[in-house]
């Protein structure tokens, strides 16, 4: 049973489209000054060119959503930063470029052959060429930020009252440095997350806490970076904290779609993550359940008085009636949705610390992408209202959106997995 497709609202699509066009305008000159092979790899993955370097129609096919770029502009709009700031476009392009390069690397490491409905770049250009392109292009992401700094000395400094050089606009010099620092932090965490992700391949049953660390480093770091790049300095830390929780929730959703998503939406084969033995969040939960079932069965079949311990025997008919794989899928699926809910609630809690008054578009792009449809057949129980936001935050649309987030489906007869509780709420 797959998750049906769900198109974002029109105002979200407009914001994503504007963000995509602004980042494309930054990337186009870069493609002209890097090595031709590196340009082909990047433009192919970005969705600008086909495998023969021919321009593709601007219809969104073969492209990502550009959500990280949109978060840059949405954060700027939410905190009152001028939208025409050239550093915003450069920052949006830089964070999307890091994301694009990380996908190139991940596809090589994981052996994924399909990306966004097309052959993965390594299948087109070869794994060595793709890895070389990733190494060569990564510094250019940081370079994009400093391209916004004026190079003419007279545009940068003036003569002060004491006859000494004085910056005309100190913030214009500090802002690119802050942006580069945020991007550098995200890059370091991406590398850490990738190293931990590779280590999980040798773990037969990784814990959910480890999976969450990978999600925080590989996805949360870029979401945090995007929000910080767009925000005014006073709100950058709070929005970065929000972005990290948003990224974790988003990646949990991606894990759900990697198993139960519609291939027409995901651009990957059905159950792609299972076919490649990827240690995703639902898999970690299912493995934990499988270990518990194995222990229960061992106790039930043990000789002597242990046979009846904890009522194991009374539960044996249910174990035999439900195939283990089906139980694994149900528990892994529904509990993953519950953990997504918790991460989304934490993201909203972080957002409540930011004194913003976003419009409908900004609210939607800041929150909606972590709330795709709950898989068909779930029960919407335990629906509860979330705490009210501080005055000044226009939250009618936000409340509706996050009401969906708070629906968690539990199949009847199951209980929460206390061995693997959801992350604790933010303080």
Query: Would you say residue 162 lies in a domain?
Result: no
Per cent of the chain over pLDDT 90 is 32
207 or 352, higher pLDDT: 207
Query: Would you say residue 5 lies in a domain?
Result: no
Query: Would you say residue 421 lies in a domain?
Result: no
Cα separation, 64 vs 105, in Å, equals 16
Query: Would you say residue 197 lies in a domain?
Result: yes
- 279: tokens are 């240690």
212 or 171, higher pLDDT: 212
Asked whether residue 133 carries a pLDDT value surpassing 80, the answer given is yes
Distances (CA, A) of 196 to 199, 202, 338: 5, 10, 24
Q: How far is Cα of residue 264 from the mean position of the Cα atoms in its chain?
A: 20
Query: Would you say residue 426 lies in a domain?
Result: no
Question: Beta partners for 157?
Answer: 167
**Owning domain of residue 399:** 10-151+172-405
Query: Would you say residue 427 lies in a domain?
Result: no
Task: Determine the average pLDDT of the residues in 179-188.
Answer: 94
Q: pLDDT category, 164, cuts 50, 70, 90?
A: low
Cα separation, 65 vs 70, in Å, equals 9
Considering its fold, how many domains does the chain have in total? 1
Query: Would you say residue 412 lies in a domain?
Result: no
Of 129, 130, 141, the closest CA to residue 30 belongs to 141
Long-range interactions of 265-269: CB distance < 8 A, separation 24+ = 265/3, 265/5, 267/114, 267/115, 267/116, 267/117, 267/118, 268/112, 268/114, 268/115, 269/114
Cα separation, 295 vs 313, in Å, equals 13
* CATH number of the domain bearing residue 272: 1.10.600.10
- State residue 325's pLDDT score: 45
Asked whether residue 120 carries a pLDDT value surpassing 60, the answer given is yes
- State residue 227's pLDDT score: 93
Q: How does the average pLDDT of the chain come out, rounded?
A: 72
Query: Would you say residue 253 lies in a domain?
Result: yes
Helices (H) and strands (E) in the chain, counts: 18, 4
Cα separation, 319 vs 10, in Å, equals 47
């Amino acid at each position: 049973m797959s998750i049906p497709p769900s198109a974002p609202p029109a105002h979200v699509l407009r914001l994503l489209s504007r963000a995509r066009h602004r980042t494309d305008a930054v990337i186009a000159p870069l493609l002209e000054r890097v090595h031709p092979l590196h340009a082909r790899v990047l433009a192919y993955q970005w969705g600008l060119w086909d495998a023969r370097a021919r321009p593709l129609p601007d219809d969104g096919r073969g492209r990502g959503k550009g959500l990280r770029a949109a978060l840059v502009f949405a954060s700027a709009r939410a905190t009152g930063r001028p939208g025409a700031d050239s550093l915003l476009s450069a920052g949006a392009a830089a964070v999307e470029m890091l994301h694009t390069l990380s996908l190139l690397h991940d596809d090589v490491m994981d052996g994924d052959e399909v990306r966004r409905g097309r052959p993965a770049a390594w299948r087109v250009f070869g794994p060595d060429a793709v890895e070389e392109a990733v190494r060569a292009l990564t510094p250019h992401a940081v370079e994009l930020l400093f391209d916004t700094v004026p190079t003419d000395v007279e545009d940068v400094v003036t003569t002060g009252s004491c006859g000494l050089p004085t910056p005309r606009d100190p913030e214009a010099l500090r802002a690119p440095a802050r942006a580069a620092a945020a991007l550098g932090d995200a890059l370091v965490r991406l590398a850490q997350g990738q190293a931990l992700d590779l280590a999980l391949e040798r773990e037969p049953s990784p814990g959910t806490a480890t999976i969450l660390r990978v999600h925080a480093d590989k996805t949360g770091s870029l979401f945090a970076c995007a929000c910080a790049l767009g925000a005014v300095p006073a709100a950058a830390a709070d929005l970065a904290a929000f972005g990290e929780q948003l990224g974790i929730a988003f990646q949990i959703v991606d894990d759900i779609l990697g198993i139960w998503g519609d291939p027409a939406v995901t651009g990957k084969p059905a159950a792609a993550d299972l076919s490649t033995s990827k240690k995703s969040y639902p898999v970690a939960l299912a493995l934990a359940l499988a270990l518990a079932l194995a222990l229960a069965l061992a106790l039930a079949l043990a000789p002597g008085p242990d046979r009846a311990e904890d009522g194991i025997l009374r539960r044996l008919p249910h174990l035999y009636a439900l195939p283990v794989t089906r139980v694994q899928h149900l528990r892994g699926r529904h509990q993953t949705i519950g953990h997504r809910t918790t991460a989304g609630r934490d993201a909203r809690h972080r957002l409540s610390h930011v004194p913003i008054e976003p419009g409908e578009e900004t609210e939607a792009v800041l929150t909606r992408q972590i709330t795709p449809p709950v898989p068909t057949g779930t029960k919407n129980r335990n629906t509860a209202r979330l705490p009210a936001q501080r005055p000044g935050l226009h939250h009618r649309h936000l409340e509706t959106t996050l009401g969906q987030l708070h629906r968690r489906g539990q199949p009847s007869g199951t209980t929460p997995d206390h061995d693997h509780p959801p992350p604790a709420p933010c303080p």
